[in-house]
Amino acid sequence: MPCARKLLLPTIAIIVAFAWHAGGLAALLINAAGSTFVYPLQSKWFAVYADLDHGVEFNYQSIGSGGGIRQLINRIVDMGASDAPMTDEQLKNAPGRILHFPTVLGADVITYNLPEAGAKLRLTGTVIADIYLGKITKWNDPAIARINPTLKLPAADLVVCHRSDGSGTTYIFADYLSKISPQWQKQVGRSTSLRWPVGLGGKGNEGVTALVKQTAGAIGYVELTYALGNKLPVAEVRNRDGNWVMPSLDSVSAAAANSVAQMPVDLRVSIIDAGGEVSYPISSYTYLLVYQRQTNLAKGKAIVGFLRWALHDGQRYAAPLFYAPLPAQVVALEDAQIKAIQLPAP
């Protein structure tokens, strides 16, 4: 029998757990869909939890946050996963109240395929916006050269790469650029799906990672774990306090720590461009979305059990996959919110 191999890039879907437990009954299937941003951690969580509870099976489709939200609203899945909080309009269109549960923190990083720059590239939010607006088209543009005086940048074309699907990773990126660039805010705005001024589209974080990896002169935005897992360089970005910050677990945690006091009751929050000396400016929570009123008793109990485990024991699996664990204050708010989930009578 051939040996199993560890994949560098996640597949589009995963089904983990045991189809049968010791009692001989079929396992309960929990369907979920959404974020590719958090896919590496979700797949790990579902596999570990399935080993702990052989009566539960998870089917997770890594289709992007937009797709996960749509499937949850249409009750195709039991849980959605999104890096963008649902909008008021989306919540209004749902057939019941949906609760947001932050699961971990991650970062959008700017990755590139430019051997001449090595791992020393620096970019400001304004420069990033101008690249994605199509105003900066060459790597040796004065705006890039000015903030990278020690690099010998080539007169090569910038190949802009972005997501082609509805994406929470895109929402995080667009949210950041909208706060930095008035032109971006007016011309493009923030959403999970954008009308891109320029560039090539890739499906999922996997698709953008592959585009950057195989295209000379490419630049793209992906979740941190995809860049590091594929040994792609990431740029330092200047934060609100004027400091150059490399994306890392510590700099993402710093962004959350400087924003936790502003956490709203419904837990829908942006920590983009957070203040703080070492805060990485393109940081974000990622969410699991569930209906407050559950319609299936067994599934409702399984979802509650999984959420409690993920918010506590599950946090230990975050850092090895380059996600930052939740602040304790946020976990406490979520523990209280779990109690608001309503299960049907037996």
Whole-number Å distance between alpha carbons of 40 and 205? 11
Fold of 107-260: D-Maltodextrin-Binding Protein; domain 2 (3.40.190)
Mean pLDDT on 127-146: 98
Closest Cα partner for 208 from 190, 223, 192, 197? Answer: 223
Whole-number Å distance between alpha carbons of 113 and 67? 29
pLDDT level of residue 26 (50, 70, 90 thresholds): confident
Region of poorest pLDDT, from 231-245, 257-271, 293-307:
257-271
What's the CATH class of domain 13-105+284-338?
alpha beta
* pLDDT score of 280 more than 50: yes
SS (H, E, C) 152-182: CCCCCECEEEEECCCCHHHHHHHHHHHHHCH
Whole-number Å distance between alpha carbons of 291 and 257? 28
Closest Cα partner for 108 from 336, 285, 262? Answer: 285
Mean pLDDT on 294-311: 97
Could you tell me where in the chain the CATH 3.40.190.10 domains are found?
13-105+284-338, 107-260
List pLDDT tens digits, range 77-104: 999 999 999 999 999 999 999 999 999 9
Mean pLDDT on 111-138: 96
- pTM comes to 0.88
List pLDDT tens digits, range 162-219: 999 989 999 999 999 999 999 999 999 999 999 999 999 999 999 999 999 999 999 9
List pLDDT tens digits, range 326-344: 999 999 999 999 999 999 9
The torsion region of residue 157 among left (phi > 0), alpha (psi -120 to 50) and beta comes to beta
pLDDT level of residue 27 (50, 70, 90 thresholds): confident
pLDDT level of residue 259 (50, 70, 90 thresholds): confident
The pLDDT assigned to 262 comes to 83
* Tokens linked to 7: 């994949």
